[in-house]
Structure 1
Amino acid sequence: MIPQYSSALLISDIHLTPSMPLTAQRFFDFCEKDAPKVQAVFILGDLFEYWVGDDAASNSPFQQEVLHALANLSTKTKTYYIHGNRDFLIGSAFLKKTGMALLADPSCVEIADKKYVLCHGDALCTADVGYQIFRGIVRKPWIQKLFLNMPLHWRRSIANHLRSNSHTQYQVEANKSPLNNQMRTNVTLEACAALVRGQSVDQLIHGHTHLPAHHKEQLGEQTWQRWVLSDWDLDHPERTTPRASALSIDSQGVRYLDLIKA
């Protein structure tokens, strides 16, 4: 039976890290003040900037602070988590301590008597062939087991190296051809159509692309609606407009909540 609730808040791509204290504080405030007002909270991946294993959390005061905020939230409202592309190694130990329930990517839920399919969104970016190959490799259980058995400092070094390479490659492609790069790294119409058709729903919610918007889409005779969640960033005003929002669903409908002004 799929989860059913009368109200919910959905967030993703918080990218929590000690180097972004304003963003982190807004997340802590969200857990304490905003989230307990609804029946369920869904975090659709990339809660952390990166995750190299549950054992790393015990050595990080910052991650312990996040753990306690989530554990406190879970005592007040049901909290769900879907793995993102940066923290897909979050495991059962961390989930158990936080009280969050893990959802498969994708998953169907029912909120205010309507069904939605939820996912992180990276699997829908099928035009980025190189990334999809990489994703298929790192999601293999034996690869993950091999990585998690490495010393912690090796894992952190590898994660930082991959993040640096990814950022550099993105900037090169964006400077070379901004439009083509955005099309390559965005979700494709065909992938979205296949997902909603396979789940027998016509409402899709995802994160990952950092392009928040409500879309009414069609492919052939198939139609559906798609909501994209915002990433959060309150720490880099010199590079981008501060962002922090949630998608609210209840009997009044679906709407974006600006958590900066809230």
Structure 2
Amino acid sequence: MQITTNKKIYFASDQHFGAPTPELSFPREQKFVAWLDEIKGDADTIFLLGDLFDFWFEYKTVVPKGFIRVLGKLAEIRDSGIPIYFFVGNHDLWMDDYFEKVLNIPIYRENQEYIFGDKTFLIGHGDGKGPGDIGYKRMKKVFTNPFSKWLFRWLHPDIGVRLGHYLSVKNKLISGDEDVKFLGEENEWLILYSKRKLETKHYNYFVFGHRHLPLKVPVGENSEYVNLGDWIGYFTYGVFDGETFELKKFE
């Protein structure tokens, strides 16, 4: 892809809207909408790298209520002609075709490769990548199994959404009981994953979410791993101007 002159590519992830309660989430939703309003003037493309919602499940004719300001702003930006790409995270992994059919926003479940100008990118949410976390990888296989999704669909939406939200909000990253710290390059799974990918193909940037910690770490010659942080405590995002990638904080 060629970036339009004076335009930029924006990246954000891990908003977890709806957690820990809709009321407490609402100010964060307002802040995210304000950010979208700010960037839409010079945005060439917007990438949302998963966990936009703390829980999301699409029944045939029902989606979770709320988030109307966020969804409306995404629809407005997309209707203006700015491409938006969404990567499913582990909290909204039961997303189906609502974004594609209603908002005209394509969704992806696996990493995707892009070339912007002369820079190569590998982009994804980041869950289940790299060594370790065997328990989660097994759980993800169960939850992404079509039979599991079919069973859950038989729950009435009032029960299913409430149950899903209850389980999702138990995540300590949202409740604030867990202090997210850098574990060192030898213990950060996505850094190890990025270095392993470089053994077979070069990328200038590996851009992921999931970790909830803003990071920008060299992983090879002219290659960096970037984690976008979150919109819970950091309110950070990535921006690429065609030459360099920066992590910024939205005040």
Paired letter, 2:119: K
Where is the helix percentage greater, Structure 1 or Structure 2?
1
**2:17 alignment counterpart:** 16
1:248 aligns to 2:239 (yes or no): yes
What are the within-5 Å matches in structure 2 for residues 11-160 of structure 1? 11-17=12-18, 18=22, 19-53=24-58, 55-57=61-63, 60=65, 62-76=66-80, 77-124=82-129, 126-160=131-165
**1:203 alignment counterpart:** 205
Per the TM alignment, residue 112 of structure 1 is displaced from its structure 2 partner at its CA by 3.4
For residues 229 and 204 of structure 2, the distance between their equivalents in structure 1, rounded to whole angstroms, comes to: 21
Structure 1 counterpart SS, 2:128: helix
Indicate if the aligned counterparts of 1:127 and 1:188 stay in contact, CA closer than 8 A. Answer: no
TM-score normalised by L of structure 1? 0.79
Indicate if the aligned counterparts of 2:9 and 2:241 stay in contact, CA closer than 8 A. Answer: yes
For residues 191 and 63 of structure 1, the distance between their equivalents in structure 2, rounded to whole angstroms, comes to: 33
Indicate if the aligned counterparts of 1:112 and 1:249 stay in contact, CA closer than 8 A. Answer: no
Paired letter, 1:228: N
Indicate if the aligned counterparts of 1:43 and 1:82 stay in contact, CA closer than 8 A. Answer: yes
**1:230 alignment counterpart:** 229
The 1:179/1:15 distance shift into structure 2, 3 A limit, reads: closer
Structure 1 counterpart SS, 2:212: coil
Structure 2 counterpart SS, 1:126: coil
CA offset digits 1:50-69 (Å, max 9, x no partner): 11225443x62x23332211
Per the TM alignment, residue 229 of structure 1 is displaced from its structure 2 partner at its CA by 0.4
Per the TM alignment, residue 186 of structure 1 is displaced from its structure 2 partner at its CA by 4.5
The 1:205/1:179 distance shift into structure 2, 3 A limit, reads: closer
Indicate if the aligned counterparts of 1:111 and 1:249 stay in contact, CA closer than 8 A. Answer: no
Indicate if the aligned counterparts of 2:56 and 2:93 stay in contact, CA closer than 8 A. Answer: yes
CA offset digits 1:114-136 (Å, max 9, x no partner): 11000101122532221111112
The 1:185/1:134 distance shift into structure 2, 3 A limit, reads: farther
For residues 167 and 98 of structure 1, the distance between their equivalents in structure 2, rounded to whole angstroms, comes to: 31
The 1:21/1:161 distance shift into structure 2, 3 A limit, reads: closer
Per the TM alignment, residue 87 of structure 1 is displaced from its structure 2 partner at its CA by 0.6
The 1:105/1:94 distance shift into structure 2, 3 A limit, reads: same
Paired letter, 1:251: G
What is the aligned length?
241
Per the TM alignment, residue 41 of structure 1 is displaced from its structure 2 partner at its CA by 0.1
Which runs of 5 or more structure 1 residues have no equivalent in the other structure? 234-241
